[in-house]
Amino acid sequence: MFGDKAIGFQVMSLSFRLLFALLVLLTGLFAREEIQTPIVTTKLSFNEMAKPLSLRPFRQYLGMFFVLQMSMAIMSGLFFFYVDFHITKFSTFIS
């Protein structure tokens, strides 16, 4: 349709951007929050904050979250190690 692929990508990017912006704008303008909730007043204490830890599914979810965060940190560290020590070392050997 377009003579150059770069122009086609730019046109598609611009059209998706405008469509997304229009839909988000319409959602923001016409969405109304009607829920009225009463104000909850509780005392902050260690016992109140530790209550979710008594639930087994919450502990499992917390464990999965910690494993995910650790694996993401390790993978991002390995990525930069690979880029710094393997790709740049390889390019210095060539030149």
Contact between 77 and 70 under an 8 Å Cβ cutoff? The reply is no
pLDDT of residue 36: 85
Question: pLDDT tens digit string along 30-62?
Answer: 988 888 888 888 888 888 889 999 999 999 999
pLDDT of residue 1: 66
pLDDT of residue 5: 76
The residue-averaged pLDDT of 4-31 equals: 91
**What would the 3-class secondary structure string for the chain be?**
CCCCHHHHHHHHHHHHHHHHHHHHHHHHHHCCCCCCCCCCCCCCCHHHHHHHHHCHHHHHHHHHHHHHHHHHHHHHHHHHHHHHHHHHHHHHHHC
Sole residue written with tokens 């993978």 = 75
pLDDT of residue 71: 97
pLDDT of residue 34: 80
Q: Domains of the chain: which residue ranges?
A: 1-32, 51-95
